[in-house]
Amino acid sequence: MNPIPWDQPATLIDLAGVTPLIAPIRECVRHFAALKVEHQAKARILLTQPTSRVGQKTRTWLLEPHEIAELVTRLREEGV
Protein backbone atom coordinates (compact mmCIF):
# COMPACT_ATOMS: atom_id res chain seq x y z
CA MET A 1 0.00 0.00 0.00
CA ASN A 2 1.29 3.45 -0.86
CA PRO A 3 1.82 5.82 2.07
CA ILE A 4 -1.35 7.74 2.83
CA PRO A 5 -0.87 11.35 4.01
CA TRP A 6 -1.85 11.65 7.69
CA ASP A 7 -4.01 14.71 7.00
CA GLN A 8 -6.12 13.04 4.28
CA PRO A 9 -9.82 13.09 5.23
CA ALA A 10 -11.30 9.64 5.87
CA THR A 11 -14.20 7.87 7.55
CA LEU A 12 -13.79 5.09 10.11
CA ILE A 13 -16.81 2.81 9.87
CA ASP A 14 -17.90 -0.13 11.98
CA LEU A 15 -19.82 -2.89 10.21
CA ALA A 16 -21.82 -3.40 13.42
CA GLY A 17 -23.46 -0.02 12.89
CA VAL A 18 -21.58 2.24 15.33
CA THR A 19 -21.59 5.92 14.39
CA PRO A 20 -18.76 6.62 11.90
CA LEU A 21 -15.84 8.91 12.69
CA ILE A 22 -15.13 11.47 9.96
CA ALA A 23 -11.66 12.91 10.52
CA PRO A 24 -8.12 12.96 9.14
CA ILE A 25 -6.74 9.45 8.67
CA ARG A 26 -4.38 10.04 11.61
CA GLU A 27 -7.37 10.38 13.98
CA CYS A 28 -9.17 7.42 12.41
CA VAL A 29 -6.09 5.25 12.95
CA ARG A 30 -5.70 6.43 16.57
CA HIS A 31 -9.36 5.66 17.22
CA PHE A 32 -8.97 2.21 15.62
CA ALA A 33 -5.95 1.49 17.85
CA ALA A 34 -8.05 2.22 20.94
CA LEU A 35 -10.81 -0.21 19.95
CA LYS A 36 -11.14 -3.68 21.44
CA VAL A 37 -9.95 -6.50 19.15
CA GLU A 38 -13.49 -7.66 18.36
CA HIS A 39 -14.43 -4.13 17.27
CA GLN A 40 -11.24 -3.75 15.21
CA ALA A 41 -12.26 -6.85 13.25
CA LYS A 42 -15.47 -5.07 12.20
CA ALA A 43 -13.88 -1.70 11.39
CA ARG A 44 -12.99 -0.32 7.98
CA ILE A 45 -11.67 3.03 6.77
CA LEU A 46 -13.22 4.68 3.75
CA LEU A 47 -10.72 6.93 1.97
CA THR A 48 -11.45 10.16 0.11
CA GLN A 49 -8.65 9.35 -2.36
CA PRO A 50 -7.97 5.78 -3.47
CA THR A 51 -4.62 4.13 -2.79
CA SER A 52 -2.72 1.41 -4.64
CA ARG A 53 -2.26 -2.06 -3.18
CA VAL A 54 0.76 -4.26 -3.81
CA GLY A 55 -0.06 -6.97 -6.35
CA GLN A 56 -3.37 -5.40 -7.37
CA LYS A 57 -3.92 -3.47 -10.60
CA THR A 58 -6.76 -1.31 -9.33
CA ARG A 59 -6.73 1.18 -6.47
CA THR A 60 -8.90 0.83 -3.39
CA TRP A 61 -11.17 3.19 -1.46
CA LEU A 62 -11.59 0.87 1.53
CA LEU A 63 -8.97 -0.28 4.04
CA GLU A 64 -9.39 -3.63 5.79
CA PRO A 65 -8.50 -4.19 9.49
CA HIS A 66 -5.04 -5.64 8.73
CA GLU A 67 -4.22 -2.61 6.59
CA ILE A 68 -5.38 -0.24 9.33
CA ALA A 69 -3.20 -2.18 11.79
CA GLU A 70 -0.23 -1.50 9.49
CA LEU A 71 -1.06 2.21 9.69
CA VAL A 72 -1.14 1.97 13.50
CA THR A 73 2.40 0.57 13.37
CA ARG A 74 3.49 3.33 10.98
CA LEU A 75 1.90 5.98 13.21
CA ARG A 76 3.77 4.68 16.26
CA GLU A 77 7.09 4.44 14.37
CA GLU A 78 6.77 7.97 13.02
CA GLY A 79 5.55 9.36 16.33
CA VAL A 80 2.91 11.42 14.55
pLDDT tens by residue, 4-43: 999 999 999 988 777 899 999 999 999 999 999 999 999 9
Chain segment 58-69, per-residue pLDDT in tens: 888 999 999 999
What is the model's pTM?
0.89
Q: Is 16 helix (H, G, I), strand (E, B) or coil?
A: coil
SS3 at position 69: helix
The helix or strand, by DSSP H or E, that contains position 54, with its residue range, turns out to be none
| Rounded-to-integer distance, Cα 45 and Cα 67, Å | 9
Residue-level pLDDT at 10: 96
Show me where the domains of the chain are located. Answer: 9-78
